[in-house]
Amino acid sequence: ELAAMEAVMAAERSLGNEPADVSAQKIGYDIASHDPKSGHLRFIEVKGRIDGADSLMVTRQEIITSLNEPEKFILAIVSVTSGIAQAPRYVRGPLVDREPSFLETAIQFDLKRLLERGEVPR
């Protein structure tokens, strides 16, 4: 997960943004990235996946953040091979169309289908 975080932080810096690691706060995303040109914030949830993984778990709080802040929320998926992170893929906006019930603590997604929605960081 650390390699994935570093890859996303580097991608954000290369875009001219100012990313900050907020993962310890458990607020529904790992990185708050400020765009100094527009003044906007991006809320980025980072998921590192080893090569060959076929699913990805997203917590209820992360889902709710994607629903409440659809213009700001980005799910960054980073493939990690032997500890080396590949370029992140960004999935923007809400991940589902409804808020999970209180019985659901996380939702498991098909990684391939999520990556079909992904794009290079911009």
Give one DSSP letter per residue of 51-89, joined into a string. Answer: TT--EEEEEHHHHHHHHHSTTTEEEEEEEEETTEE---E
How many other β-carbons are positioned within 10 Å of the β-carbon of residue 12?
23
Half-sphere exposure of 102 (CA within 13 A, CB side): 0
How far is CA 79 from its chain centroid? Answer: 12
User: What is the pLDDT at residue 12?
Assistant: 98
Residue with tokens 């400020």: 34
How far is the C-alpha of 77 from the C-alpha of 7, rounded, in Å?
A: 10
Per-residue pLDDT of the chain (122 residues; tens, 9 = 90+): 899 999 999 999 999 999 999 999 999 999 999 999 999 999 999 999 998 899 999 999 999 999 999 999 999 999 999 889 999 999 999 999 999 999 999 999 999 999 999 999 99
Structural domain boundaries of the chain? 2-116
Structure tokens at 93: 């906006």
Look at domain 2-116 and name its CATH class: alpha beta
CB proximity list for 97: less than 8 A, separation 6 or greater: none
